[in-house]
């Protein structure tokens, strides 16, 4: 496939993407047994007869998982089905101990939702087909032996939500932005840690192409194993070109499952799954219907935290921030919390927002993993930033000096006031001192003074710069301006 | 319902049973006759009838979200035909 | 009665409580009886003699403390019983009579087993059965043949064959089996003992190896109805580990039956569809006589109709095999059980482990169940069967508007000859024709002996009750038993 030439562009195609997001619920125990659902433990440490599928064992539903699932339904404006059912999805795989997965099929608990997300300042809305609960499978380790695989069932039975979107996404960037919004939502809701690198959140993408303007859907390929924002974008970009090349060459897309190979940057067919899948779904006889009544839904609604869209709106009205800045600040719950902690310490939301969207986010992005913004690793607290802005606002330091103080705060994590005191960065407001500097600058630049007086107004900036330089940046800029003007124009 | 040996082989793959040829032949006959017998249900008009998947008229009960089991990997693998440490071992899975 | 092993549970319990006998004596009598009779009958896959002696001694210590502040005895303390090899028993091999589990040692007890242990019952061993409870004759065991103690060339019935023979041959005072389509009632009828399949959800299925999850139910067998009642009330009741177990109070069945149970005013329904062609003349005569006896005792007889009876076997073989095909997927040679073919790779390991581990009938049902669930057939078979199941349930709901108990024969004929139906699966399936509807409807059903045919083989009377109304079944059965002698006739272990 040529990188220089885009078959996609050439062919006048439109991309159609639907995502199936799998999100691990942050319950303490598994969906159907009392084993820990925590990540990271010795092999089969978090197992019991139920999740090992010993003969004769039976599942019992974790109430908290349903609570969390209801929150997800409410946050996506979905319809919650009062009666839903459990089903078995039958297939053989060593990490699937029962040889079936307990999931929801014909009657999921949740349908007809929608999610809005922002991409480059434009709001997009994607409808959700359904959300259902299901259990995760275990894990196989393939690289320990040449001819054997190892099976660890710690993850088997961990609760998942599967969130299925309508095929309404039109690009890898949209898919990735949608996924970011989804992660933000589940974190706001406190129902998942949303950690993609630990597999708590991952997705499969159904990708197809059609001629721009066409109304029917093309044949799709399902791409599995998308476990980072970057892989979503890269895999979809690759897949679009792959399909475009086939279609332009007069070929047909095979409906199949493809695996994203991040190392090689390609999707490849999973043809080793020889026979066509026939999961033989049927109602799970070991679990009775799940009934979510109005009282339960209302209780969950009353316990719902403020969600990103509402918080964004509040940031605009309460703090007078722009819609864009509010969107940036509320994209993640941690960031929004961080901002509000800073505002609580010093009431200048606009200045704090500017500092955060420019300086703080840059630092946080540098310290986090790919695509992750990690506030836990920041060397300073929101109160430190608030203190810094307060020093500017009360005239102790200039905005310029503040940048210096900020860098030192990043390095040391020290309180900005302590940095200012230690480094002697307090702003000079003593007009006598500033007048002395002005005098010496004027005296040292007689030629320039003459030019200025003859009408070269632009030179005023030169004098300001010289005074600031002499004062090592500490002179109060307003005083400098006024005194200079008096001296030169007077 | 016509049932041929290829159909039996298809089902055997789904069920992960390595049937011998004699078994394929015998099961083709047996299942054909049984399906002929159960085909009797087609006589009934059930279009307005709700399916029964459970006879118990209750909703599913819950457990509270507490960690009550686990921490015994020795007992997890005690019946395993092949193991490595606390892992189950299977022939290499090829993707 | 002189021999201890011939005591009913209620009589043994009385003598244990009064210290006339010890559990150790009773247990030794049963072990001795097993020693003598087992070569003829073949009930046990494993006799846990050492465990039984230890439990008997424990029981005797508990019984010795009777009347003191630390007393914790129950009616079953010290009573030797045996379990179908479908119940998981911690540290005691549990095979489900299948090669695929031939070396399986459970790490935990089924809820039923835990409750029996807590009550102080003595476990004599694990009993033969049809492999994975799939069969009506016990001939599908991968381990051994079990013979009918009344006539050793006859089958004991299945699938809980060993559970019936051990009681009929006085090897144990009581036993537990499971009933998915008749697997307690049919062998109880064939072996002349009392057996009850409670309402679906009455007894926990946790730790009971699953055959068909929406149909399986645990129940006891004993030589008398009161004995069965004591066993049932010990294990019944809500279990937090089984989501389908019902949270309803469990009556003191034995206490409620009392010494003079009556059927006065009871309406007994007789479904005409259960007395049709193919019903053996001796069976019909004995069952009608038993119904007549109940009428003499004060019951009212009403005719009822269960019009969808003829569809029950077909419905059952779709629902049960579909569930079984999924339930048996876990026997894959990965975590436990027999493994074969691993040197040829994963697919062969699955295929060979299962091909060699399962017997012919199990494979037949896995194949049938897989087929009816597979793409393109689900609606025609599985979905259809679930709807017909609704019709069968409704039949009973309507019949029970007119009666309190339904009485029928348990089986169309008495125990058949070993080997006579093994070549014809369909003919074997029809052995359950009179018991299957009860499972599809989830109702309690019971079989008690009501006569012998011309060959000297026992005949079973089936009683079917309303949901959770085991008590009326037990009371009716006990009233009948008190008026006749059939439960006191013993099998002679003759060819």
- CATH code (residue B29): 1.10.20
Interface of C with A (CB under 8 A): 86-88, 94, 96, 101, 104, 106-108, 110, 205-210, 212-214, 240-244, 322-323, 325-326, 329-330, 332, 334-336, 346, 350, 370, 373-375, 378, 382, 386
Is A1 part of a structural domain of the chain? no
> Could you say which of C383, C389, C442 has the minimum Cβ distance to residue B56?
C442
Domain residues for the domain of B14 are 5-43
Place of tokens 């469990």: C250
Residue A458 is part of a domain; what is its CATH number?
Answer: 1.10.10.410
For A57-89, what is each residue's pLDDT tens digit?
999 999 999 999 999 999 999 999 999 999 999
Check whether residue A245 and residue A337 sit in a common domain: no
- Among A56, A63, A103, which would you mutate to test the C interface (most chain C Cβ atoms within 10 Å of its Cβ)? A56
List the catalytic residues of C: 84, 159, 183
Check whether residue A453 and residue A482 sit in a common domain: yes
B34, containing H or E segment: helix B21-38
| pLDDT confidence tier of residue C94, bands split at 50, 70 and 90 | very high
Domain's final residue, options A248, A270, A300:
A300
Position B87 scores a pLDDT of 96
Round to whole Å and give the CA distance between A411 and A409: 5
Domain residues for the domain of A394 are 306-423
Check whether residue A480 and residue A382 sit in a common domain: no
Please tell me which residue of chain A has the smallest CA distance to C100: A55
Q: HSE of A175 in the Cβ direction (CA atoms, 13 Å)?
A: 32
Position C430 scores a pLDDT of 81
Residue extents of the structural domains in chain C: 4-263
**Letter string b/e over residues A352-387, b meaning 16 or more CB atoms within 10 A of that residue's CB:** bbebbbebbbebbeeeeeebbbebeebebebebbbb
Check whether residue A411 and residue A435 sit in a common domain: no
Cis-peptide into A269, omega within 30 deg: no
Place of tokens 């090992």: A52
Burial class (CB in 10 A: 0-12, 13-18, 19+), A472: exposed
| pLDDT confidence tier of residue C277, bands split at 50, 70 and 90 | confident
For A161-191, what is each residue's pLDDT tens digit?
999 999 999 999 999 999 999 999 999 999 9
Is B27 part of a structural domain of the chain? yes
Is B36 part of a structural domain of the chain? yes
> Are C227 and B37 contacting, i.e. CB atoms less than 8 angstroms apart?
no
Round to whole Å and give the CA distance between C25 and C33: 12
Percent pLDDT > 90 in chain A is: 44
- Among A43, A55, A86, A285, which would you mutate to test the C interface (most chain C Cβ atoms within 10 Å of its Cβ)? A55
Using H for helix, E for strand and C for coil, what is the string for A129-164? EEEEEEECCCEEECCCCCCEEEEECCCCCCEEEEEE
Chain B residues lying within 8 Å of A29, measured CB to CB: 63, 65-68
> In this model, does residue A201 exceed pLDDT 90?
yes
Domain's final residue, options A247, A279, A300:
A300
Position A1 scores a pLDDT of 44
For A102-158, what is each residue's pLDDT tens digit?
999 999 999 999 999 988 888 899 999 999 999 999 999 988 888 999 999 999 999
Chain A residues lying within 8 Å of C336, measured CB to CB: 54
> Could you say which of B10, B73, B84 has the minimum Cβ distance to residue A42?
B73
> Are C302 and C402 contacting, i.e. CB atoms less than 8 angstroms apart?
yes
> Are A176 and A189 contacting, i.e. CB atoms less than 8 angstroms apart?
no
Look at chain A and report how many structural domains it folds into. Answer: 3
Lowest mean pLDDT among A425-439, B45-59, C132-146, C372-386: A425-439
> Could you say which of A45, A62, A141 has the minimum Cβ distance to residue B71?
A45
**CB proximity list for C65: less than 8 A, separation 6 or greater:** C71, C72, C73
Determine whether the interchain pair C242/A56 forms a contact, defined as Cβ–Cβ distance below 8 Å. no
> ipTM for the complex?
0.96
Q: Cα dist. C280→A117, C202, C274, C454 in Å?
A: 74, 33, 12, 11
Domain's final residue, options A241, A275, A300:
A300
> Are A161 and A133 contacting, i.e. CB atoms less than 8 angstroms apart?
yes
Chain A: closest CA distance from residue C196 (Å): 21
Position A55 scores a pLDDT of 98
pTM of the complete model: 0.90
Check whether residue A336 and residue A289 sit in a common domain: no
Residues 17-36 (B) with a CB less than 8 A from some CB of C: 17-20, 23, 27, 30-31, 33-35
Round to whole Å and give the CA distance between B75 and A116: 48
Look at chain B and report how many structural domains it folds into. Answer: 1
Round to whole Å and give the CA distance between C321 and C372: 8
Chain A residues lying within 8 Å of B9, measured CB to CB: none
For A321-364, what is each residue's pLDDT tens digit?
888 889 888 988 888 998 999 998 888 888 888 888 888 888 77
Q: Given CA atoms A253, A259, A260, A263 in this order, what sign does their dihedral have?
A: negative
Using H for helix, E for strand and C for coil, what is the string for C227-284? HHHHHHHHHECCCCCCCCCCCCCCCCHHHHHCCCCCCCCCEEEEEHHHCCCCCCHHHH
For A22-38, what is each residue's pLDDT tens digit?
999 999 999 999 999 99
Is B21 part of a structural domain of the chain? yes
Is B91 part of a structural domain of the chain? no
For A409-436, what is each residue's pLDDT tens digit?
888 878 887 787 777 777 777 777 888 8
> In this model, does residue C16 exceed pLDDT 70?
yes
Flag whether residue B16 sits within 8 Å of chain C, measured between CB atoms: yes
CATH architecture for the domain at C4-263: Alpha-Beta Complex (3.90)
């Amino acid at each position: 496939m040529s990188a220089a030439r885009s078959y996609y562009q050439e062919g006048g195609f439109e991309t159609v993407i639907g995502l199936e997001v799998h999100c691990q619920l942050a319950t303490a125990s598994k969906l159907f047994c009392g084993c820990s659902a925590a990540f990271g433990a010795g092999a089969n440490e978090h197992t019991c007869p139920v999740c090992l599928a010993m003969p004769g064992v039976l599942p019992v539903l974790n109430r908290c998982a349903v609570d969390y699932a209801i929150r997800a339904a409410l946050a996506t404006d979905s319809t919650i089905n009062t009666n839903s059912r459990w089903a078995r999805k039958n297939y053989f795989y060593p990490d699937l101990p029962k040889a079936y997965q307990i999931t929801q099929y014909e009657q999921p608990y949740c349908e007809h939702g929608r999610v809005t997300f922002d991409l480059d300042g434009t709001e997009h809305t994607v409808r959700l087909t359904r959300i259902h609960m299901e259990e995760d499978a275990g894990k196989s380790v393939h690289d320990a032996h040449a001819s054997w695989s190892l099976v660890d069932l710690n993850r088997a039975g961990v609760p998942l939500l599967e969130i299925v979107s309508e095929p309404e996404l039109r690009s890898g960037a949209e898919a990735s932005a949608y996924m970011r919004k989804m992660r933000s939502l589940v974190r706001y809701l406190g129902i998942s840690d949303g950690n993609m690198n630990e597999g708590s959140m991952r997705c499969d993408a159904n990708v197809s192409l059609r001629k721009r303007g066409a109304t029917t859907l093309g044949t799709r390929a399902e791409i599995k194993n998308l476990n980072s924002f970057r892989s979503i974008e890269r895999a979809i970009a690759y897949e679009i070109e792959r399909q475009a090349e086939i279609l332009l060459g007069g070929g047909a897309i095979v409906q199949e499952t493809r695996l994203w190979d991040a190392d090689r940057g390609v999707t490849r067919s999973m043809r080793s799954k020889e026979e066509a899948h026939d999961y033989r779904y049927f109602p799970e006889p070991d679990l009775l219907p799940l009934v979510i009544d109005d009282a339960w839904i209302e209780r969950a609604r009353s316990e719902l935290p403020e969600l990103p869209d509402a918080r964004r709106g509040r940031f605009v009205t309460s703090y007078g921030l722009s819609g864009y800045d509010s969107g940036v600040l509320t994209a993640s719950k941690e960031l929004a919390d961080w901002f509000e902690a800073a505002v609580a310490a010093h009431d200048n939301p606009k200045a704090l927002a500017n500092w955060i969207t420019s300086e703080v986010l840059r630092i946080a992005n540098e310290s986090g993993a790919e695509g992750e913004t990690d506030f836990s690793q920041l060397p300073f607290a929101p109160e430190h930033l608030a203190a810094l802005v307060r020093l500017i606002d009360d005239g102790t330091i200039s905005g310029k000096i503040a940048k210096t103080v900020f860098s030192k705060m990043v390095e040391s994590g020290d309180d900005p006031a302590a940095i200012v005191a230690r480094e002697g960065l307090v702003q000079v407001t003593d007009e006598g001192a500033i007048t002395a500097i002005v005098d010496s600058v004027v005296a040292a630049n007689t030629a320039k003074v003459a030019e200025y007086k003859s009408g070269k107004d632009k030179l005023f900036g030169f004098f300001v710069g010289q005074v600031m330089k002499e004062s090592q940046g500490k002179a109060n800029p307003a005083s400098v301006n006024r005194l200079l003007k008096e001296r030169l124009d007077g | 319902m016509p049932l041929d040996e290829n159909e039996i082989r298809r089902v055997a793959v789904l069920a992960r049973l390595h049937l011998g040829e004699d078994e394929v032949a015998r099961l083709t006959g047996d299942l054909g006759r049984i399906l002929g017998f159960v085909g009797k249900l087609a006589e009934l008009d059930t279009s307005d009838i709700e399916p029964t998947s459970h006879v118990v008229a209750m909703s599913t009960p819950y457990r509270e979200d507490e960690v009550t089991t686990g921490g015994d990997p020795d007992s997890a693998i005690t019946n395993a035909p092949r193991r490595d440490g606390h892992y189950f071992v299977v022939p290499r899975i090829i993707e | 009665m002189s021999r201890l092993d011939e005591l009913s549970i209620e009589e043994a319990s009385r003598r244990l409580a009064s210290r006339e006998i010890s559990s150790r004596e009773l247990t030794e009598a049963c072990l001795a009886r097993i020693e003598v009779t087992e070569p003829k009958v073949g009930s046990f896959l494993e006799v846990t003699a050492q465990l039984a002696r230890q439990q008997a001694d424990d029981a005797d210590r508990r019984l010795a403390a009777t009347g003191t502040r630390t007393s914790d005895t129950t009616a079953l303390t010290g009573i030797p019983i045996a379990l179908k090899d479908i119940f998981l028993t911690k540290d005691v091999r549990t095979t489900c009579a299948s090669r695929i589990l031939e070396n399986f040692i459970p790490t935990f007890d089924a809820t039923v087993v835990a409750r029996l242990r807590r009550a102080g019952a003595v476990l004599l061993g694990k009993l033969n059965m049809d492999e994975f409870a799939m069969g009506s004759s016990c001939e599908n065991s991968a381990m051994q043949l079990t013979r009918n103690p009344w006539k050793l060339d006859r089958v004991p019935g299945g699938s809980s064959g060993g559970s019936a023979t051990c009681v009929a041959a006085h090897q144990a005072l009581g036993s537990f089996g499971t009933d998915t389509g008749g697997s307690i009632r049919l062998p109880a009828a064939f072996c002349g003992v009392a057996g009850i399949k409670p309402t679906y959800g009455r007894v926990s299925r946790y730790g009971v190896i699953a055959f068909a999850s929406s149909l399986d139910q645990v129940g006891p067998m004993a030589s008398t109805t009161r004995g069965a009642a004591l066993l049932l009330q010990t294990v019944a009741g809500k279990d937090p580990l089984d989501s389908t177990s019902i949270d309803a109070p469990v009556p003191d069945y034995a206490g409620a039956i009392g010494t003079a149970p009556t059927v006065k005013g009871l309406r007994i329904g007789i479904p005409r569809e259960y007395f049709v062609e193919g019903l053996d003349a001796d069976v019909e005569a004995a069952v009608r006589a038993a119904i007549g006896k109940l009428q003499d005792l004060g019951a009212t007889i009403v005719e009822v109709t269960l019009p969808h009876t003829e569809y029950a076997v077909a419905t059952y073989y779709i629902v049960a095999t579909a569930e079984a095909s999924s339930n048996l997927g876990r026997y894959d040679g990965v975590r436990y059980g027999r493994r074969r073919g691993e040197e040829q790779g994963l697919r062969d390991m699955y295929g060979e482990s299962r091909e060699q581990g399962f017997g012919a009938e199990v494979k037949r049902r896995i194949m049938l169940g897989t087929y009816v669930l597979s793409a393109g057939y689900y609606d025609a078979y599985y979905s259809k069967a679930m709807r017909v199941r609704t019709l069968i349930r409704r039949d009973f709901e309507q019949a029970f508007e007119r009666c309190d108990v339904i009485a029928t024969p348990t089986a169309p004929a008495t125990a058949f000859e070993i080997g006579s139906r093994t070549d014809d699966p369909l003919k074997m399936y029809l052995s359950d024709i009179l018991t299957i509807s009860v499972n599809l409807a989830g109702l309690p059903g019971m079989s008690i002996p009501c006569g012998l045919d011309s060959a000297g083989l026992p005949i079973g009377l089936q009683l079917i009750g309303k949901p959770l109304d085991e008590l009326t079944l037990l009371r009716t059965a006990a009233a009948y038993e008190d008026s006749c002698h059939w439960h006191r006739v013993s099998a002679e272990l003759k060819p």
